[in-house]
Amino acid sequence: MSHPFFLRLAYVGTSFYGWQIQTSLRSVQGELWKALRALDPEAPMPQGTGRTDAGVHAKAQGVLLLAQRPWEPYRLMAALNAHLPLDVRVMAAEPAPEGFFPRQHAVAKRYIYRLFEGPAADPFLKDRAWHVHGKAPLDREAMSQAALHLVGEHDFSSFRAAECSAKTSMRILHKVEMRDDGPLLDLVFEGNRFLMHQVRIMTGTLVDVGRGRRPAEALRDILAARDRRAAGISAPPGGLYLDAVWYQRRWGIGDASPWPEPPSD
């Protein structure tokens, strides 16, 4: 008999080749499974909510773990952390209901992309933010106007990596907002699902607008083009954070989504 648990995992993605387990490269899923097998050798591989790319960070990766014996949640969290490397931590653990699967039952996610402006990069933000070099600050107003074109349900083909395997490029972007803190600028994206590199490509394109290289109205035409070549560069992975995931209310996992969720199957 297995005992399902939901974990909230945080990790610094700098030295990982992404979440998903790799044959020979270091992955977050691989490190977590190694720690779990030290405690529970027969436990199957833990399953995450999303496949963060190499170099991308997470504050709230949701993970389903099937332990082969009962655990008190705090003790499970402490035991796993004792076997995990310091760039991965289990931040919370709780019993999960039978039938819950994080990837299938997620209804919305929040990603944050962190920018740092100024004439010199901050060494303390190396691989934690994208240094946007320039004498003049980014035009926040133009970026806000451009972002309005992205909100809603659209075909995001222009903001999709060539190797993306998603069956459809239709996605709903609920919100884009900017949070200013001096030279730090966080771009906050909340949506139902995201395509491979979507947030990084949207960020690169919005930075083009902020630098005056594109008008705000260009975002409407880029969406309509449905062509990756129409959009800007992919922002570096080190500035991207998976910040929150919301699940269907019926499972009682975490906070309820602030956005409408589709009917349950």
For residue 67, the model assigns a pLDDT of 95
For residue 264, the model assigns a pLDDT of 64
The CA-based dihedral angle spanning residues 140, 144, 150, 152, taken in that order and rounded to the nearest 10 degrees: 150
For residue 181, the model assigns a pLDDT of 87
Q: Taking the mean position of all CA atoms in its chain, how far away is CA 224?
A: 25
Annotate 215-247 with b (16+ C-beta within 10 A) or e (fewer). Answer: ebebbeebbeeeebebbbebbbbbbbbbbbbbb
Domain 106-243 has CATH 3.30.70.660: yes
For residue 263, the model assigns a pLDDT of 74
User: Do the domains 106-243 and 3-100 match in fold?
Assistant: yes
Query: pLDDT digit of tens for each residue in the chain (265 aa)?
Result: 899 999 999 999 999 999 999 989 999 999 999 999 999 999 999 999 999 999 999 999 999 999 999 999 999 999 999 999 999 999 999 999 999 999 999 999 999 999 999 889 999 999 999 999 887 899 999 999 999 999 999 999 999 999 999 999 999 999 999 999 888 999 999 999 999 999 999 999 999 999 999 999 999 999 999 999 999 999 999 999 999 999 999 999 999 999 988 876 5
pTM of the model: 0.96
> What is the 3-state secondary structure of 60-99?
EEEEEEEECCCCCHHHHHHHHHHHCCCCEEEEEEEECCCC
List Cβ neighbours of 50 (8 Å cut-off, separation of 6 or more).
Answer: 19, 61, 103, 106, 109, 194, 242, 245
> Which whole-number Å values give the CA distances from 65 to 6, 78, 122, 221, 256, in the listed order?
6, 15, 38, 44, 21
List active site positions: 53
φ and ψ of 201, to 5 deg: -75, -40
The structural domains of the chain, with segments of one domain joined by +, span 3-100, 106-243
Q: How far apart are CA 159 and CA 162, in angstroms?
A: 9
Q: How far apart are CA 245 and CA 253, in angstroms?
A: 10
For the 3-100 domain, the top CATH level (class) is alpha beta
For residue 198, the model assigns a pLDDT of 98
Helix (H, G, I), strand (E, B) or coil at 186: strand
